[in-house]
């Protein structure tokens, strides 16, 4: 079985601009390409799991989200980072403006379905893996999937929790809190 680092996208890999929908707004956060290369060399699968309400809000369609992700991954690789192993996203929102996406889904974090699906697809042992995110809902999803969790302070860590259809379990705390993905990787490698 493989080990993975599951990564939220906005606020962890790229600057969170609130509903990233335009290529010109992509800004890879400092240190991300090198840090991803370090985790890749250590044998971790690198799997992005991201809520993408831009679809539910009508700013992008699902194909547009994939195109934008490809541009992000291209920029990471141009800066010396590795190819990412997978990208999973939830297009739903409980108050979507596009009716087709206004559903009570199982994939929207804090639910763990995206991590579980990625683990199945890539032969990942969740108990040997880590979830890195900037929001408490990332931490809750990681914990629900059985991963160790890291909350980074490069995004929306101080913002109110995202809208969810079920109450958040306030007893769940991150296993580690740190400044950014580079610090998260140092901790992950120490734990491994």
Q: How many domains are there within the chain?
A: 1
Prediction pTM value = 0.96
Determine the pLDDT at residue 63: 98
Residue 190 falls within a domain, yes or no?
no
Q: Which residues contact 81 (CB under 8 A, 6 or more apart)?
A: 32, 33, 34, 36, 37
Determine the pLDDT at residue 160: 81
Question: Cβ of 72: how many Cβ atoms within 10 Å?
Answer: 22
Residue 191 falls within a domain, yes or no?
no
Read off the DSSP letter of residue 28.
B
CATH number of the domain to which 144 belongs: 3.40.50.1000
Question: Helix, strand or coil for residue 81?
Answer: coil
Residue 18 falls within a domain, yes or no?
yes
Determine the pLDDT at residue 122: 98
Helices (H), 27-172: 32-41, 53-56, 62-78, 113-122, 136-145
Sheet of 130-133: strand order equals: 86-90, 44-51, 3-7, 130-133, 148-152, 176-178
pLDDT tens, per residue, the chain with 192 residues = 999 999 999 999 999 998 999 999 999 999 999 999 999 999 999 999 999 999 999 999 999 999 999 999 999 999 999 999 999 999 999 999 999 999 989 999 999 999 999 999 999 999 999 999 999 999 999 999 999 999 999 989 888 888 887 788 889 999 999 999 999 999 999 998
Residues identified as active-site:
8, 10
**Containing domain of residue 85, as a range?**
3-184
Per-residue pLDDT of 29-70, as tens digits, reads 999 999 999 999 999 999 999 999 999 999 999 999 999 999
Determine the pLDDT at residue 164: 84
């Amino acid at each position: 079985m493989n080990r993975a680092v599951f990564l939220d996208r906005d606020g962890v890999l790229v600057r969170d601009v609130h509903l990233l929908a335009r290529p010109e707004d992509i800004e890879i956060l400092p240190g991300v390409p090198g840090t991803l290369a370090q985790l890749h060399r250590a044998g971790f699968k690198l799997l992005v799991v991201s809520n993408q309400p831009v679809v539910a809000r009508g700013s992008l369609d699902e194909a547009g989200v994939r195109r934008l992700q490809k541009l992000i991954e291209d920029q990471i690789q141009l800066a010396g980072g590795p190819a990412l192993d997978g990208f999973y996203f939830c297009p739903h929102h409980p108050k979507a403006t596009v009716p087709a996406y206004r559903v009570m889904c199982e994939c929207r974090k804090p639910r763990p379905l995206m991590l579980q699906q990625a683990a199945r697809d890539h032969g990942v042992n969740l108990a040997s893996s880590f979830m890195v995110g900037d929001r408490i809902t990332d931490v809750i999803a990681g914990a629900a999937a059985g991963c160790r969790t890291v909350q980074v302070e490069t995004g929306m860590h101080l913002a109110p929790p995202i809208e969810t259809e079920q109450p958040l379990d306030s007893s769940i705390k991150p296993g580690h809190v740190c400044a950014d993905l580079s610090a998260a990787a140092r901790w992950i490698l120490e734990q491994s």
